[in-house]
Amino acid sequence: MKAYPLHPPGAAAEAPPAPATPLFGSMLMGGFECAAHKRRDGRRLDVMAATGHDRRAAEDYRLLHRHGMTAARDGLCWHRIERSQGYYDWSGLLPMLRAARETGTTIIWDLLHYGLPDGIDPFSAEFVRRFATFARHAARVIDGESDVAPVYTPINEISFWAFAGGETAGLTPFAFGRGAELKRQLVRAALAATAEVRAVDGRARIASAEPLIHVFPAGPGPDAADLAAAHNQAQHEALDMLLGLQAPELGGHANAVDIVGWNYYHNNQWIDGGRSVPPGEWIHRPLHQLLAEAASRHGKPGYIAETGCEGAFRPFWLRYVASEVRQAQAMGVPLGGICLYPIISHLGWDDDRPCANGLFDGHDPDSPRTLFTPLADEIAAQTALFAGAPA
């Protein structure tokens, strides 16, 4: 494993910024929330429909370009496309593909963002087969509408889904004590989908999107330390399985993932079983250190696949993350993007409260895209810094 030296505090900041090499066309990117899972009460979420992005993709991509962002994460809604087994309706996806082509926007396509079609049990072999078949047909459609090499994230946040859906019953399939089993199933499905995508289009690149976390011991003593260390190690299991470094019987291999994506939010560090540890607390670990350690495991190019926060702190959070990414880059960590997620504010998954977490506010599918100017100003400033402008 490659080791990236950890600079002392302030060392990276003393050097003038060097131009960064974006993986997808622009260092800063927009992410369109595409979660489409069912809640415990049986109601299905469809955030793309709720924000109107599914109908307004061309408008939204142009808005990104106005702010220097020529790349985005976006997604397919499997439950809408395959309403009946084996019958696919691409009428919602085709306008999005054409909008991306016409605006020159590079898209990382999520094939599965929690939303399964009705009647599929993710613990079943049928799930793996149907998802792989869906991925093959999706790749054919995307290949037919694009002149550039596509980028896919087969399954978003395998680690989080396995925990929330398999351990705490907070997400589909609402199970307890089956997180390890669900993680292996999601890895099987992601690998099967990847194989089908590449059989259709050998140009395709595969990007992961997994949480980057740090858990602190709940108290003194070796037992608490060992438990926290186990949590920190577990965050890497999904990617290690995909790459064949763990559970090789699942079929993982070194070329299963081309680009490593890390999802990082203000509450991604916490005391085991307790409160979060935000930046500013003395025990908080700087993001550039977490990135250096994670990147040293696999030696692949990476990016921040999701980051953001709510309310007035949005520009300050971007400033922190961008600064930490530049420190990591100065240490030699190959980072090629930061995706602001979500880019359009939406309603809360569980309580329908307005979440002011995007560059554009407006929580109705037909409402105007109202710019949050402080974040727009920070995006402009960070874009300039990544391009090598004087600080």
Classify 347 as helix, strand or coil.
strand
| Encoded tokens for 8 | 């002392």
265: left (phi over 0), alpha (psi -120 to 50) or beta: beta
Angle 212-324-362 from CA coordinates, rounded to 5°: 75
| Encoded tokens for 27 | 């260092």
| Encoded tokens for 336 | 């090629």
What pLDDT score does 7 carry? 39
pLDDT band at 383 (very low <50, low <70, confident <90, very high): very high
What pLDDT score does 12 carry? 39
3-state helix, strand, coil in the chain (%, to 5): 40, 15, 45
Rounded distance, CA 349 to CA 209, Å? 20
Q: CA 58: distance to chain centroid?
A: 22
Q: Which of 27-36, 38-47, 93-102, 328-337 comes out lowest in average pLDDT?
A: 38-47
Q: How many CA atoms lie within 13 A of 180 on its CB side?
A: 5
Domain ranges of the chain: 11-386
* Residue among 296, 290, 391 at smallest CA distance from 334: 296
52: left (phi over 0), alpha (psi -120 to 50) or beta: left
Please state the pTM of the whole predicted model.
0.93
Q: CB of 279 within 8 A of CB of 321?
A: no
pLDDT band at 19 (very low <50, low <70, confident <90, very high): low
Angstrom CA distances, 270 to 159, 265, 277, stand at: 17, 11, 5
Percent of the chain with pLDDT over 70: 94
Q: Is the pLDDT of residue 390 over 70?
A: no
Rounded distance, CA 103 to CA 126, Å? 38
What pLDDT score does 379 carry? 98
pLDDT band at 18 (very low <50, low <70, confident <90, very high): low
Q: Which residues of 161-173 are buried (b: 16+ CB within 10 A; e: fewer)?
A: bbbbbbbeeebbb
The widest CA-to-CA distance across the chain, in whole angstroms, is 59
> End-to-end CA distance of the chain, in Å?
33
Q: Which residues pair with 338 in a beta bridge?
A: 28, 304
Rounded distance, CA 317 to CA 312, Å? 10
User: What's the CATH fold of domain 11-386?
Assistant: TIM Barrel (3.20.20)
Rounded distance, CA 333 to CA 326, Å? 9
